[in-house]
Structure 1
Amino acid sequence: MNATTDHLNNQTAFQRFLDVYSQRLRKLIIFCGAGASKEAGLPDWDGLVQAVRQDLNQPLYATSSFANKIQKFDLEEDFWIKLSIAREIFGENYTNIIQSILDKETIWTVRRRCLS
Structure 2
Amino acid sequence: MKNSASPESKSPSQLIDARIEELGDWRGQMLSRLRALIRDADPDVVEEWKWRGVPVWEDAGMICTGETYKAVVKLTFAKGAALEDPSSLFNSSLEGNTRRAIDFHEGDAI
Q: With structure 2 as the length reference, what TM-score do the two structures score?
A: 0.27
Greater relative CO, 1 or 2 (CA 8 Å, sep 6+)? 1
More strand by share: 2
Structure with bigger gyration radius: 1
Q: With structure 1 as the length reference, what TM-score do the two structures score?
A: 0.26
